[in-house]
Structures are given as structure tokens and as C-alpha cells.
Amino acid sequence: MKYPFLYLLIIFAAATTATRALSPLQHPLTGVVCALNVEKHVLTLASAEKVSPTGFQIKDGRTRLWRDGKPATLADLTADQVVQLCSERETGQDVATKVTWKSPAPADKPMNKT
């Protein structure tokens, strides 16, 4: 080996970037969307864990939105939708880091009896 220190440095750098854990400050929450303000990027969620509805800031580039396992936008989300959310407290406000939900199942068509 011509440069053993360089090889050790590369291995150390690869090992530290591959084993990053989620922040211990993230809080998971499941609830129903009470209100949604797309212009202000705020989602209000009512859940069994909280006494009153809580507002979460949606930040571009920070919040990941997923509908049915695929990337989505805030415009895809509607009020009365059940969501799972992870959040962090950041500069005095709750910031959603991940919001996931499933599309409502299509209504069953009534069968025609003849």
C-alpha cells in the first residue's frame, strides 16, 4: 500500500455517512387534517395524542410528502384526510419532516339486480 492513511480516511468517511440515524428529536403522530393553508404552507392536525389541534409548518426542501407510497404535493392533500406525520421543533414552531397518507378507496358501485 502506497498511501495507507488515505485508505483509512476513505473507509472512515464512508462508514460515518452510511450509518446516520434519524434525529432523536423527531416525533411521529397520526391524525386527521383539520385545516390546510396551501399559501402559508401550514397543516393543522387533530390527533388522539394532543388535546387541541396542532399546526405544522410545511417547508419546501425539508418536508417530504408521500401519497400511496409516491411523492406528492401539498395540493394533493385534503381536509379530513388521515395522515401519519413526523415533526421536529424548530425555532419555536413545529415543522413537519414527513407526511404520508393513502388515497381514499373508491366507493363500491351498487349492484343492479334484475
Q: pLDDT tens-digit profile of 45-70?
A: 998 877 889 999 999 889 999 999 99
CA–CA separation, 28 and 34 (whole Å): 18
pLDDT of residue 20: 44
Cell of 4: 495507507
Q: Is there a contact between 47 and 82 (Cβ–Cβ < 8 Å)? A: no
Arithmetic mean of pLDDT, 9-23: 53
CATH value of 27-100 in 3.40.50.12780, 3.30.70.270, 2.40.50.320, 3.30.1130.10: 2.40.50.320
State the DSSP H helix or E strand holding residue 93, giving kind and residue range, or none if neither: strand 93-101
* CA–CA gap between residue 12 and residue 62 (Å, rounded): 28
pLDDT at 91 over 70: yes
Q: How confident is the model at residue 113 (pLDDT cuts 50, 70, 90)?
A: low
Cα atoms found within 13 Å of the Cα of residue 14, Cβ hemisphere only: 6
